Amino acid sequence: MVKTIYKQHLFKDKTALITGGGTGIGLRTSLELSQLGAVVVLASRKKENLENGVKTIEKTGGKAFGIECNIRDEESVENCVAEAIEKAGTIDLLVNNAGGQFPSPAEAISQKGWNAVIETNLTGAFLMSKEVFNKCFRDKGGSIVNVIANMWNGFPMMSHTGAARAGVDNLTKSLAVEWGKYGVRVNSVAPGLIHSSGIDSYADEFKSYIFSAAKNNQANRLGTEEEVAAAILFLLSPAAAYITGETMRVDAGESIYSPLVPPSEHDKIPPFKDKQE
C-alpha cells in the first residue's frame, strides 16, 4: 500500500504519462496515481529506471508501462506519445517531471552544456505538452502538471536550469490560456530542497551544499518526495478544476526566506512520508 490522503479510485479510468517516472518524485507520483486507480505510463531515457519503476508499481498492485524516450528529441517524443496511446488507449494526465542539470559557475558553462539543460528542462516540457495536446487533449481535455524548481531569486551555480525552469513557469501560463477552451488545465509545482532518492548519487560536495541549506525554510528540514507528489496529485485532480496557469510552491517558505526573521530550530512540522528513515 502506498500512503495517500486521497480517496480510493480518484484516478480510476485515467491514464497518466509521467516523464522521469522511473525514479524520485516521478516514481513516487506514479506509485500514488496507480494506487488511486490510474494506469501509468513512465517515460525515461534510461531502460533500467523504467524496468525498476514498472516493477515497483506492479508490486503494489498497480498497472504500469515503461517507454524509452528522449524528451529533447521531437521524433522520440512523437513515438513515445504514439506508443503510450497504443498501449494504454489514451492519455488523460501529463506530468512533465523529467529534468537534468549539473552544478557549475555560470562562466564555466559551455554552450553545449547550456543547450543540453535548456533542451531537457524547457524544450522537453514544451515538446511533450504539444504532442499530448495534439494527439489527445485537443479532443477531450486533460490536465498537465510541470515540475519546476525554486528559481524565484535566480538559481546561482545552476543558472541554466534556473533559466529553463523560469521558462516553464511562463510556458505554464501561455498554455493555460491557449488551451483552456479545450478543457485543458496547465499548472506547475516548484519544489524547494527535497530529500529525493537521487540525492545519494550526487557528488559529496554538492550533497553537503544541499544539506547545509536544508533548514532555510519554515519546516526546518528538507522536503519529501511524498510532499511534492501530494501537490502534483491535487493539481491533476478534479478538486483543482478552478486552478490553471498556476505554480504552487512546495518549499515550506524557502523562497520567501527573510534574513530579518530567519527560520528557527524546531520539528513541529513533521514530514509527510511513507516510511521512516
The span of 63-71, 125-133, 160-168, 184-192 binding ligand ADE (CB under 6 A) equals 63-71
Size of the site for ligand ADE (CB under 6 A): 12
Residue 165 CA to residue 241 CA, distance in Å, equals: 24
Of 213, 230, 232, 222, the residue nearest 274 (C-alpha): 230
Question: Quick check: 20 binds ligand ADE (CB under 6 A)?
Answer: yes
Phi-psi category of residue 248: left, alpha or beta, with phi > 0 → left and psi -120 to 50 → alpha: beta
**Residues 115 to 144 in contact with ligand ADE, rule: CB under 6 A:** 120, 124
Residues 6 or more apart whose Cβ sits within 8 Å of residue 51: 22, 66
Among 78, 83, 100, 210, binds ligand ADE (CB under 6 A): 100
Give the C-alpha separation, 58 to 124, whole Å: 27
Q: Which of 186, 256, 191, 198 minimizes the C-alpha distance to 229?
A: 191
21 binds ligand ADE (CB under 6 A): no
With binding defined as CB under 6 A, does residue 69 bind ligand ADE? Answer: yes
Stretch that binds ligand ADE, among 68-76, 82-90, 228-236, 251-259 (CB under 6 A): 68-76
Q: Go through the chain and tell me how many residues it has.
A: 277
Task: Tell me which of 98, 158, 184, 233 binds ligand ADE, using CB under 6 A.
Answer: 98
Go through 100-136 and write b for each residue having 16 or more CB atoms within 10 A of its CB, e for each that does not: ebeebeeeebeeeebebbbbbbbbbbbbbbbbbbebb
Stretch near ligand ADE under the rule CB under 6 A, chosen from 34-42, 67-75, 104-112, 161-169: 67-75
Q: Which stretch binds ligand ADE (CB under 6 A): 64-72, 161-169, 178-186, 240-248?
A: 64-72
Going residue by residue from 34 to 53, which x/- string records binding to ligand ADE, judged by CB under 6 A? Answer: ----------xx--------
Binding site for ligand ADE (CB under 6 A): 19-20, 44-45, 69-72, 98, 100, 120, 124
